[in-house]
Amino acid sequence: MISRLTDQGVEVFDACLDLAGAFEIPEPDAYAVAPSLDRLIYTTGAAAICVDAGNRELWRFPIPAEDQGDPADCTFSGDGTHVWLYIAPDQWLALDAGTGEVRTRHTLGTDGHGGQQIAFPDGEHMMLDTGSRTFHAGPATELRTCPWDDRSVIAVAPDAHLLMTVAHDQEDVSFHEVPDGEAKVTVRVADFDEVPDTAGIEWTGGFLDQDTAVVVLSWENGGEARWRHYRVDVHTGEVIGDLGIVTIDQYDLQPLGDGTYVITDTDGTLRRM
């Protein structure tokens, strides 16, 4: 899914990066476009709201007043049948994407302050990173807690066999088995050539394909930010080499899992490479 938030709302693009549609919504706390491209879910301080391609409201899910302190996160499952909603600090819900009715509710028992959700390619399972804990669940499965509290989830591999995480101290990137979370490969800053000792691994990048990940290292040089994108073999940890790409910032490059990625030109044009 390729989309971006603009002053006018959310633009959605097809695989050729042609504009496939636009949703005119107020500035959201979070948003997600359905895999079918014909619906969008977004959150405000008070509700999660689903609209169609004509910007007509289909349903809304009120966020209880006592849970309105932090922005709620929302996303569609990979098959578009559910909307997953994280309400900080500890509520994670699967809603029927057609009606907004609650299908699953998990009480996490955490003090999370924000949530990043990642949809699995199988269509149903989801990953949630709250900043303090990471969870794995499906609409009809029990909640599973991943065995770490010091890492951030970055991406799931296209074949859903591996998970990429980066340490909170940005000293290493790991690739874990799904679903037990065991780390199979860990690559540290020192394993990358031609970067200073002060470099850190950014909480971005992802799977270029099921065998290769893009890992972003950044550092300061004379008060200016510097960064480079590296390809890493996710099975062996070998650093294959620098992508040799220039991006507008450390977080702009979006791997698509099929060997290609999207970046933004300085004039705002999206490019798939």
pLDDT digits (tens, 9 = 90+) for 239-254: 999 999 999 999 999 9
* Terminal-to-terminal C-alpha distance of the chain: 15
Q: Decide whether 1-145 matches 155-273 in CATH topology.
A: yes
> What pLDDT does 65 receive?
87
Q: What is the DSSP letter of 265?
A: -
Confidence of residue 114 (pLDDT cuts 50, 70, 90): confident
> What pLDDT does 219 receive?
97
Report how far residue 98's alpha carbon sits from residue 89's, in angstroms, rounded to the nearest whole number.
26
Q: Which residues contact 137 (CB under 8 A, 6 or more apart)?
A: 92, 94, 104, 106, 125, 126, 128, 143, 144
> What pLDDT does 68 receive?
83
> What pLDDT does 187 receive?
98
What percentage of the chain has pLDDT greater than the value 90?
85
> What pLDDT does 179 receive?
83
Average pLDDT of the residues in 205-221? 97
153 neighbors 116 (Cβ within 8 angstroms): yes
Superfamily of domain 1-145: YVTN repeat-like/Quinoprotein amine dehydrogenase (2.130.10.10)
Choosing among 3.90.1410.10, 2.130.10.10, 1.10.599.10, 3.30.420.10, the CATH entry for 155-273 is 2.130.10.10
> What pLDDT does 5 receive?
95
In the predicted structure, residue 194 carries a pLDDT above the cut 90: no
What percentage of the chain has pLDDT greater than the value 70?
100
- Domains in the chain: boundaries: 1-145, 155-273
Coil, helix or strand at residue 140: coil
pLDDT tens digits, one per residue of 161-179: 999 999 999 999 999 999 8
Kindly report the average pLDDT of the chain as a whole number. Answer: 94
Q: pTM for the full model? A: 0.94
> What pLDDT does 110 receive?
83
pLDDT tens digits, one per residue of 21-79: 999 999 999 999 999 999 999 999 899 999 999 999 999 999 988 888 888 999 999 99
Report how far residue 48's alpha carbon sits from residue 67's, in angstroms, rounded to the nearest whole number.
13
Report how far residue 192's alpha carbon sits from residue 217's, in angstroms, rounded to the nearest whole number.
9
Average pLDDT of the residues in 129-157? 91
Average pLDDT of the residues in 134-145? 88
> What pLDDT does 50 receive?
98
Residue appearing with tokens 């910007």: 55
> What pLDDT does 1 receive?
78
What are 100's two structure tokens? 């907004």
